[in-house]
């Protein structure tokens, strides 16, 4: 169970106490990510996330921040996505004051020192290099660029090396001031929560700015044309993504779509894993996943393929997609997929950090923040018919997109393979 309230500055607060833990997580979500950026500011959300750890007026540098948290054995980090940024500290319950103080200090009082900012440019450029050198993650960016085109959703969260090198401090701070405001912030406290948590939160977060929120992102309801995109790289293993458009966060079909993805490639007993890896030995890994945003989303099948057998692998994967549309799923598959989701969900509730993340994303993107019991009930009521209907709506061959990172340049070859 949880309780929710708002601060006078508009910040949403959710308190989720758990009796069976000695840990507490404070997580702060800001509803801004790379989707809110224009081209010159591409990467600004992620850049700001880095800079929040570079020192405040009371804690002047990274070493001071990290030593204070390390001294209590805390776990702390942050992450930026296309539609939100989050910061968290997980610590022993007696250190809740420090967690609240530290996060609020970083979000409200960070210095954004010019020298630190310029030094961090190099760090982020190396981070971009790291992802470009990792074909397993690179193929995800290549696919989203292909699906969403030259739009904020199609661009890299970290930006480009040229853009990061050129981005001005003034532009970044103007961007930060537009979105890091009370009305755009959600604060979650989960785990062993003290009785005086409400006045503590008011004490530390009351100074979040109360002012008008910056403009929202441009809505995206269309997709780039289907096709094949190749990123030539001298790899021994080929990394590919086959995907197609799906639904936005609020679409009621997402639960059925999630079960479909599990049946297809969510487990080591899923159809794709058994057929493509175990029976045919064509890949090392293969998985399916659902990725919703506001208004739009996508389903992907991602795999690491033997480069000498890719001509067999792609038709074998698409054949499984055609098969599940034509023949549907079994009652046993539906039951196992539901039990898998419920089991993973129950395990995630053992960790205050996972609980905070789950509640925070609901608060940002759903009409209602649901309890764990309500979530279980939603999963249980999904029918075979609903899953099969979603399969027919989504798994259409003329909607397939294919992205490959590997030693290839022949687009026509892979277009033929994708068509089967």
> Model confidence over 40-82: pLDDT tens digits?
999 999 999 999 999 999 999 999 999 999 999 999 999 999 9
**How many residues are there in the chain?**
420
Q: What angle do CA 285, 288, 292 make, to 5 degrees?
A: 140
Whether residue 175 contacts residue 44, with contact meaning beta carbons closer than 8 Å, is answered with yes
What is the percent of the chain with per-residue pLDDT over 70, rounded to a whole number? 100
| HEC sequence for 262-321 | HHHHCCCCCHHHHHHHHHCCCEEEEEEEEEECCCCEEEEEEEEEECCCHHHHHHHHHHHH
Question: How do 228-232 and 401-406 pair as beta strands?
Answer: parallel
- Confidence (pTM): 0.95
Query: In the chain, which stretches have pLDDT less than 50?
Result: none
Domains, the chain: 3-205 (3.30.830.10), 228-419 (3.30.830.10)
Helix intervals (H) in 267-410: 271-272, 310-327, 331-348, 352-365, 372-380, 384-394
Q: Write out the two tokens for 41.
A: 């500011």
Q: Which residues are catalytic?
A: 49
CA distance 390 to 163: 40
User: Given this model, what pLDDT does residue 217 score?
Assistant: 81
Dihedral sign for Cα atoms in the order 97, 99, 102, 108: negative
DSSP states along 206-249:
TTS--SPPPP-PPP----PPP-EEEEE---SEEEEEEEEE---T
Spell out a b/e string for 362-398, using b for 16 or more CB atoms within 10 Å of the CB, else e. bbbbeeebbebeebbeebeebebebbbebbeebbeee
φ, ψ for residue 238, nearest 5 deg: -90, 135
- Using only C-alpha atoms, what is the Rg of the chain? 23
Q: Please name which of 179, 183, 182, 395 lies closest in space to residue 299, comparing C-alpha atoms.
A: 395
Whether residue 210 contacts residue 182, with contact meaning beta carbons closer than 8 Å, is answered with yes
User: Given this model, what pLDDT does residue 211 score?
Assistant: 86
User: Given this model, what pLDDT does residue 59 score?
Assistant: 97
User: Given this model, what pLDDT does residue 220 score?
Assistant: 82
Q: What angle do CA 203, 208, 210 make, to 5 degrees?
A: 120
Looking at residue 40, what DSSP letter applies? T
Task: Tell me how far CA of residue 262 lies from CA of 144, 298, 314, in angstroms.
Answer: 21, 14, 19
């Amino acid at each position: 169970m949880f309780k929710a309230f708002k601060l006078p500055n508009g910040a949403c607060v959710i308190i989720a106490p758990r009796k069976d833990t000695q840990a507490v997580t404070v997580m702060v979500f800001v509803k801004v990510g790379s989707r809110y950026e224009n081209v010159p500011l591409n990467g600004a959300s992620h850049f700001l996330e880095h800079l929040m750890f570079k020192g405040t007026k009371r804690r002047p540098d990274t070493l001071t921040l990290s030593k204070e948290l390390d001294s209590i054995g805390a776990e702390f980090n942050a992450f930026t996505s296309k539609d939100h940024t989050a910061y968290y500290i997980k610590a022993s319950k007696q250190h809740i004051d420090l967690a609240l103080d530290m996060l609020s200090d970083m979000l409200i009082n960070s210095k954004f020192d010019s020298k630190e900012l310029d030094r961090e440019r190099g760090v982020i450029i190396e981070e971009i290099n790291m992802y470009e050198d990792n074909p397993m993650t690179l193929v995800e960016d290549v696919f989203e660029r292909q699906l969403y085109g030259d739009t904020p959703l199609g661009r890299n969260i970290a930006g480009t090396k040229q853009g990061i090198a050129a981005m001005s401090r003034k532009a970044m701070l103007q961007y930060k001031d537009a979105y890091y405001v009370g009305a755009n912030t959600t604060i979650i406290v989960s785990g062993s929560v003290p009785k005086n948590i409400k006045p503590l939160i008011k004490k530390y977060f009351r100074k979040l700015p109360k002012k008008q929120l910056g403009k929202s992102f441009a809505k995206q309801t269309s997709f780039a044309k289907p096709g094949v995109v190749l990123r030539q790289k001298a790899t021994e293993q080929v990394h590919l993504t086959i995907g197609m458009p799906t639904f936005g966060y609020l679409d009621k079909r997402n639960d059925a779509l999630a079960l479909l993805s599990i049946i297809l490639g969510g487990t080591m007993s899923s159809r794709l894993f058994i057929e493509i890896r175990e029976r045919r030995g064509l890949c090392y890994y293969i998985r399916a996943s659902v990725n919703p945003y506001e208004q739009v989303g996508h389903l992907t099948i991602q795999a690491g393929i033997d480069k000498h057998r890719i001509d067999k692998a792609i038709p074998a994967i698409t054949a499984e997609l055609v098969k599940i549309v034509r023949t549907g799923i079994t009652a046993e598959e539906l039951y196992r997929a539901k039990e898998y989701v419920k089991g993973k969900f129950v395990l995630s509730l053992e960790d205050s950090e996972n609980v905070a993340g789950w509640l925070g994303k609901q608060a940002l993107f759903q009409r209602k923040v649901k309890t764990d019991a309500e979530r279980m009930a939603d999963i249980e009521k999904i029918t075979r018919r609903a899953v099969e209907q979603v399969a027919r709506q989504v798994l259409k061959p003329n909607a397939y997109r294919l992205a490959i990172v590997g030693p290839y340049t022949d687009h026509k070859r892979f277009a033929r393979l994708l068509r089967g």
